[in-house]
Amino acid sequence: MKKLLMWGIFATSIVLAQEKELVFFEDFENPEMPSIVEYATVDTSGKHTTTSAITGSGSLEVNTLGKLGYPMTLSLDAKKILGEKYSSCIAYVSFKYKVLGVDKNREPRNYFLCEDSKRRICTEVFGGKVGETGTVKLEVRLISKNRYNFSMTSLDGIHIAIDDFKVERCPSPKESEWMYEDNLFIGMKFLPTHPNFLTSTAPENKLTKEQFFPFVDKFGQYKHRDWATKVKSEADFAVRIKEEEAFNASLPKIENRDNYFGLINSKYKFKATGHFYTKKVDGRWWLITPEGNLFWSHGIDTVGIASDTPTTKREHYFEDISDKNFTHSYFGGKHSYAKGKMYNYDFGNRNLTLKYGKNHRDRYAKVIGKRFSAWGINTSGAWCSYAVMTHSKVPYTFLGNSGGATNFKGTSQLVEYWQPMKDYFEPDFEKVTHQNMAKNANLLRSPYCIGAFIDNELPWQPKDYSTAMRILTCPKTQKSKQVFMLMLKDKYVEIEALNTAWKSNYKNWDSFLNTVNFVPKTEQGKADMLAFEIKFYERYFSVCRSALKAVAPDTLYIGCRFAWGNQTVAKVASRYCDVVSYNLYRDNVVGFSLPKGAADKPVIVGEFHFGNQDGGIFGGGLRPRKTMKDRVDSYESYVISALENPTIVGAHWFRWFDQITTGRCGDGENYSVGMVDICDTPVYPMIKKAHELSTNMYDVRQKASTKKRKETAKTVTY
């Protein structure tokens, strides 16, 4: 039997930086699990298991399924392991896992985190499929003055086995300890101290604070690392244009494509309607081009939209932001590091001006059109610029907004990230949404317009009843509450009948409107709440559809880009949308489909990405990868999984430009996820893979099975 190893915690001997000292190891062979009892906090469901053992004869088994939110699977206090007086060090944490069960009603999201008392330091996302086994590895620098916690959590729980939990350490470079000062770096999702960026061998470890600042050059690039296509002078922009022209010319032309990049194949020729439409062919959903050919949407979001970054209270981050033509004011909002009036610097448009001239927008749109033709990208996704939609001659998806609805006033808690939940029964909702679509009639009626998204990542609740519960806590003036009352009055007629069904004590129907502290617990009460939620969803999707079709009856309504939600809202959406859209940040979309009971409709992926952290940008996005090779491989795997999924008719990469490493305005996203960098240089490894995928994508899709595939278990190292 292996034994718990706990030594060297108070060792004073000097350890070479490259040597690792083992300070904690638990293999769970002993049913008493003494180290976990002493050094960790485990969910009450935790137990020793032999039937689900990963290695040896025992593992830790924890089942938090059914617990809402982010229940903690396991938590480990670093100071308990390393000792109260530990020196600053690099900690290497790893464990093996096997997924035994997941919440089938949502995408599994499992996280292993390192946090101090103020913020999350780093996150590893893992284990999305039942039966999947793997190893999670985390390398993180711990500063002696701070208190750290390692923890594992899952959205709405996980059933998991854990084994061979290990913590090692080695001394950390003293020279760069200044980088961990409080509030030194603000306004960024990922800091330069993120362990995937500031590794033990990173060049920043040798820099003093005076040498590090400013760390962004006059082109918006990170100063302290170099790469082959880095722009070092204004003259380099002309060089990059020539290099790109040569690269594009070297790519084999993708044959048999129509004017909209659809597949020309006499076997698959359909009615040419002058607009895009959907069709199921041989068990697979497709888009059909205006010329009547098969089309699968291989796209990129935010095409033509350049990147800017806040400068307020951070002026010393930048080498040169003196050109006031690219300085703009705005107001910091909900997720901003500062509030009120702020300033940003538009590095992206400054670089485009240096590269293409002052009036570059139309010229740049034509450059993008040529790029897409050479690269095989066939769609400009959400948030593409007006010039791109009108001048690039590339199919696009339009993103519009509903309007006229105000926020709910109730008190019960909802999951609301980007925006609060709105009351779609307000009469101005229909009027303003119709007006918003009418303003964009020319874009919506273009033959290049595949379809229209209306809204993005609305706060649809992950669980049924949540929205109705919120409405019941609203005042009597809330329009949705009035509609809910009329629905109940039509069903029950008399308030006494409602009281019997709900076990409530309303005196009359006015009492129902005035009551803000009662939610039914009976089965009939839950059924009524669900019925109202369906009515609420129907109101939203029916208005959005009618607003679009009133202006452009042939344009596809492609939904609201679900990021959160429940099966009920998805089923309602499927009845009104021509294509249902999801933003799916996951490793792949194998087996993804609309919920059982939904209408048979195609799905389009509005956003996905993977970001590398081995270049000049601190963040790797919502699905970080350590290296560019990892990023390219993940991109290929995701697109192939979407092509092989008979329901999915397209996938759009988020985004066009890299985000500046100091973070975008608003929430500070600073992700290395662009298809072009901040200086508009193509990210060539990604472009080569995009061309390869586009060349073969119709063959891949047509040869794939139309039977629904299950997400297969596999072994993964994160």
Task: Tell me if 336 sits within 8 A of 312, measured CB to CB.
Answer: no
pLDDT for the residue numbered 239? 98
Residue 425's nearest CA partner among 468, 473, 489 is 468
* Each residue's pLDDT tens digit, 420-439: 999 999 999 999 999 999 99
CA dihedral 418, 422, 427, 429 (to 10 degrees): 20
Q: Which parts of the chain have pLDDT scores under 50? A: 1-17, 712-713, 715-716, 718
Please give the DSSP secondary-structure letter assigned to residue 620: -
Q: Provide the whole-model pTM.
A: 0.92
pLDDT for the residue numbered 334? 84
CA separation for the pair 255, 278 (Å, rounded): 23
CA separation for the pair 253, 250 (Å, rounded): 9
CA separation for the pair 31, 48 (Å, rounded): 6
Residues with Cβ within 8 Å of residue 61, at least 6 apart in sequence: 46, 47, 48, 49, 52, 100, 159, 160, 161, 162
> Cβ atoms within 10 A of the Cβ of 7, count?
11
pLDDT for the residue numbered 15? 34
Query: What structural domains and CATH numbers belong to the chain?
Result: 21-172 (2.60.120.260)
Please give the DSSP secondary-structure letter assigned to residue 578: S
Residues with Cβ within 8 Å of residue 253, at least 6 apart in sequence: none
Q: Phi first, then psi: give them for residue 29, nearest 5 degrees.
A: -75, -35
**Pair of tokens at residue 688:** 């080569």
* Each residue's pLDDT tens digit, 540-563: 999 999 999 999 999 999 999 999
